[in-house]
Amino acid sequence: MKINMEQFRSAFFTEATEHLANMESGLLQLEHAPDDLDLLNSIFRGAHTIKGAAGTFGFPDVAHFTHDLENVLDQMREGSVQPNADLIEVLLRNVDTLGTLLECAKTGDAPPDCVSRVQQQLKGLLTLKPDDVPVKANISSAAGRSVRSYRVRFVPDRELFLQGSEPLLLLRELADLGEITETQVNTSALPPLAEMNPEICYLSWTLLLHTNVSQREIQDVFGFVSDTSLVEIVHVSQEISATVDDLDHKTTMSIANESDIATSTASIVATSGVDARLVVDEAERRNESERRVSSRRVNDRSVEQETVRVDCHRLDNLINVIGELVISGAMVEMEFAEWQKQSGHESQSLAHLSKTVRDLQELSLSLRMVPIAVTFQKMTRIVHDLARQLGKQIHFETEGEETELDKTVVDQIGDPLMHMVRNAADHGIETPDERIAAGKPAEGQITLRAFHQGGNIYIELKDDGRGLDRQVIRSKAIERQLIREEDNLSNQEIDNLIFVPGFSTAKQITDVSGRGVGMDVVRRNVEALQGSVSIQSEMGRGSTVTIRLPLTLAIMDGLSIGLSDDVYILPLLSVVESFRPEPQEIKRVATKGEVVVVRGEIVPLLRVYRLLNVAARVTEPSEGIVVIVENQGKKCALLVDELLGQSQVVIKNLETNFHKVAGIAGATILGDGRVAMILDIFGLMRLASNSYVDGSRPVEEKPTPTLKLTGASA
């Protein structure tokens, strides 16, 4: 049987990317907590795992580069190299370069020339010369550290070769950790030669490893071995060299029970004249520390959850099929309802089936829900780099990293968040001198948080910087002829001008900003996700940008409305209220066209049938229904014939088989098989603004192309 290594390599690249992300996050935390040994060990384990797996799968460039990085991290753990801002910065660049090497290994491209330069830069910051770096295998050079002996037994799964592993590589990894003696190979499981299968692993081995590393690091060597393999690591002896360097090297002890270490050590030391109490205290401290670590590992294992990696396309196909099942179920319910009216029979099984289908739909959607932590983590690195580049002091905090939303939304929200964060760091936070002069602390604060509310997810980015200068924004907008001098804009309307494409208040173009590309990207991408974005700001106090998003793009809560014989869907998250207006509440304003007065507030009135160029039974607002909707802090009133009810709808993308239609966000299939268009609130507002020449008369010469789809097959 031929082994398909591609699937294993694919898993390696996926897991290596996760390790890189964790290493980057750990380094950013280490900058503020340089004494956190657990954090440093976590970073080291990530590098060690990548190195071992890269060697296993035949990526020597990755393995050699990670080995150098691992050496530096190990010196940091030993205390010979102290973490500082410069070293952390170099290590972050090394993580970036390692990511590039992994991408080259994935695509088969040659490694970039910058790799050797990055390695040399790293070695230049070390307190020791590269040739002086202690080698773990040379255990005699580890003065001041205890050398322990471990009995390591490995009985591999018989399909070890099929998993892409090789026992010889494991032996080499162990040899790098110390000195191997008393190696025993078990050949009892070997069958007769004629019955041997070259794809099956029959051998197992036991060895004695003398090393000064922890038992956890030995376990890491077997990190990529399957759970069905047997790995036993037993501590069998301890040589006290940390406290007593002048003991006779022949004086050793072999103890079956580690709890007897303190007593045995005391009796030995009491004979070469060393204070036994110091040795006993040291041994007891180590034992207590290891017990706590062991207990923590047991607790960690108790809460671990098994996961299965599934191809995204398969998951999307599953959700699409379940969506079709929901639509088919709605059709069956409608047909049964008609039959029920005639027969008077009821069906409990149909009600149970409907509930099961709904549960299945919710379960399938939850499979695509992922935490936003990874996206937030990337923003931490962006702020770190910008602060150094701009010469600013910025403290960045994240909240709600565990908040979950649709993977599609997570993948697409990264770009808007990046622009928001860059904008806050560059335009929002002042330089230390400016902040001190304004009576603020030198260090600025940026907080990024996510939370659920009302069936939606909210992402807020808040800074305590200079805030928006509305006078500058207004002047720039007049200069660019976006508004007129006599226009009376509210603070919210002035703030929203920063979302106009190409708009920028920067005095000069830099590598960070100045070209007017940023917040317009935020708005465009958020609207593509059926969400909205708004901003609140106070001069001299800071700004808060809020993004509101649906939890998933697969289904949505919608309000069904009727126009003539057609049904349209309004996103429920945009609906504020609905009512039938009185004739005196309908006005015409020269600059805004038709408006409706809602409790003293003037709201533009949009005739949906006119914007979409479709038929309608109601043309007089006082005889129809007005639905107030909101987008980006702006309200408008939509005139419709009737309200048909609220329901969850499965969203279908029109652009896959049709093309983008202004004012239409997508489509869905109703229970009776008809196709209903999902309206895009922002698109309707834009259509309305483009439909008036002088604000009072609609342009009829260029109507919106008629879009009419009927039947589920459409």
State the average pLDDT over residues 297-319.
65
**Residue that finishes a domain, picked among 101, 132, 163:** 132
Residue 301 pLDDT exceeds 50: no
- The mean-pLDDT minimum among 386-400, 635-649, 664-678 falls in 664-678
Q: Are residues 384 and 497 in the same domain?
A: yes
Encoding tokens for residue 699?
Answer: 């342009």
Instruction: Provide the b/e sequence for 201-210 (b: ≥16 CB within 10 Å).
Output: beebbebbbb
A 10 A CB-CB count for 467 gives 18
Contact 441, 432 (CB under 8 A): no
Q: Are residues 213 and 200 in the same domain?
A: yes
| Alpha-carbon separation of residue 387 from 23, 424, 540 (angstroms) | 20, 11, 20
The CATH number that applies at residue 486 is: 3.30.565.10
Q: Are residues 545 and 412 in the same domain?
A: yes
Tell the burial category of 427 from Cβ atoms under 10 Å away from its Cβ (0-12, 13-18, 19+).
buried
pLDDT for 507 equals 63
Question: How confident is residue 323, by pLDDT bands cut at 50, 70 and 90?
Answer: confident
Nearest CA among 555, 559, 576, 579 for reference residue 567 = 559
Nearest CA among 544, 549, 547, 506 for reference residue 424 = 544
Q: What is the DSSP string of 431-478?
A: PHHHHHHTT--SSEEEEEEEEEETTEEEEEEEE-S----HHHHHHHHH
pLDDT for 198 equals 76
The CATH number that applies at residue 276 is: 3.30.70.1150
- Position 390 in a domain: yes
- Position 706 in a domain: no
- Position 702 in a domain: no
Encoding tokens for residue 443?
Answer: 């260090």
pLDDT for 163 equals 60
Q: Are residues 559 and 530 in the same domain?
A: no
Q: Are residues 159 and 282 in the same domain?
A: yes
Encoding tokens for residue 142?
Answer: 């580890």
Q: Are residues 413 and 545 in the same domain?
A: yes
Instruction: Give 563's Cβ-side CA count (13 Å radius).
Output: 23
Residue 453 pLDDT exceeds 60: yes
Continuous segment of H or E residues that includes residue 101: helix 85-107
Contact 271, 279 (CB under 8 A): no
Residue 648 pLDDT exceeds 70: yes
pLDDT for 632 equals 66
SS3 content of the chain, % helix, strand, coil (to 5): 45, 20, 35
Contact 691, 698 (CB under 8 A): yes
Question: How confident is residue 714, by pLDDT bands cut at 50, 70 and 90?
Answer: very low
- Position 453 in a domain: yes
Residue 405 pLDDT exceeds 50: yes
Check residues 708 and 672 and name the one with the higher pLDDT.
Answer: 672
Q: Are residues 124 and 143 in the same domain?
A: no
What is the total count of domains within the chain?
5
Question: How confident is residue 288, by pLDDT bands cut at 50, 70 and 90?
Answer: low
**Residue that finishes a domain, picked among 535, 550, 565:** 550
pLDDT for 529 equals 82
- The mean-pLDDT minimum among 48-52, 172-176, 497-501, 633-637 falls in 172-176
Encoding tokens for residue 172?
Answer: 């080499």
* CA gap 340, 349 in Å, rounded: 14
Residue 709 pLDDT exceeds 60: no
Contact 601, 692 (CB under 8 A): no
Tell the burial category of 286 from Cβ atoms under 10 Å away from its Cβ (0-12, 13-18, 19+).
middle
The CATH number that applies at residue 568 is: 2.40.50.180
The CATH number that applies at residue 19 is: 1.20.120.160
Domain membership of residue 320 as a residue range: 312-368
Question: How confident is residue 279, by pLDDT bands cut at 50, 70 and 90?
Answer: very low
pLDDT digits (tens, 9 = 90+) for 51-79: 878 877 778 888 888 887 888 888 888 77
Considering the chain, what percentage of its residues have pLDDT values greater than 90?
14
Alpha carbon of residue 96 to chain centroid: 17
- Position 506 in a domain: yes
Check residues 508 and 198 and name the one with the higher pLDDT.
Answer: 198
**Residue that finishes a domain, picked among 368, 389, 414:** 368
- Position 306 in a domain: no
Which residues lie across from 631 on neighbouring strands? 634
A 10 A CB-CB count for 302 gives 7
pLDDT digits (tens, 9 = 90+) for 478-536: 888 888 888 888 888 888 888 887 777 766 555 555 444 568 888 888 887 878 888 88
State the average pLDDT over residues 244-269.
37
Q: Are residues 88 and 185 in the same domain?
A: no
pLDDT digits (tens, 9 = 90+) for 385-397: 899 889 999 999 9
- Position 466 in a domain: yes
* CA gap 326, 320 in Å, rounded: 10
Residue 280 pLDDT exceeds 70: no
pLDDT for 162 equals 63
pLDDT for 607 equals 92
State the average pLDDT over residues 137-160.
69
pLDDT for 239 equals 40
Q: Are residues 69 and 110 in the same domain?
A: yes
Beta-carbon contacts of residue 533 (< 8 Å; ≥ 6 apart):
416, 499, 522, 523, 526, 545, 546, 547, 548, 632
State the average pLDDT over residues 562-572.
91
Residue 293 pLDDT exceeds 50: no
Residue 626 pLDDT exceeds 80: yes
pLDDT for 243 equals 34
* CA gap 123, 125 in Å, rounded: 5
Residue 556 pLDDT exceeds 60: yes
State the average pLDDT over residues 668-680.
84
Determine the 3-state secondary structure of 234 from DSSP.
strand
- Position 703 in a domain: no
Q: Are residues 599 and 649 in the same domain?
A: yes
Q: What is the DSSP string of 501-555?
A: TT----SS--SSS-SS-SHHHHHHHHHHTT-EEEEEEETTTEEEEEEEEES-SSE
Q: Are residues 405 and 340 in the same domain?
A: no
Q: Are residues 166 and 284 in the same domain?
A: yes
pLDDT for 145 equals 54
Question: How confident is residue 302, by pLDDT bands cut at 50, 70 and 90?
Answer: very low
Q: Sheet of 625-631: strands edge to edge? A: 575-579, 625-631, 634-640, 601-607, 593-598, 586-589
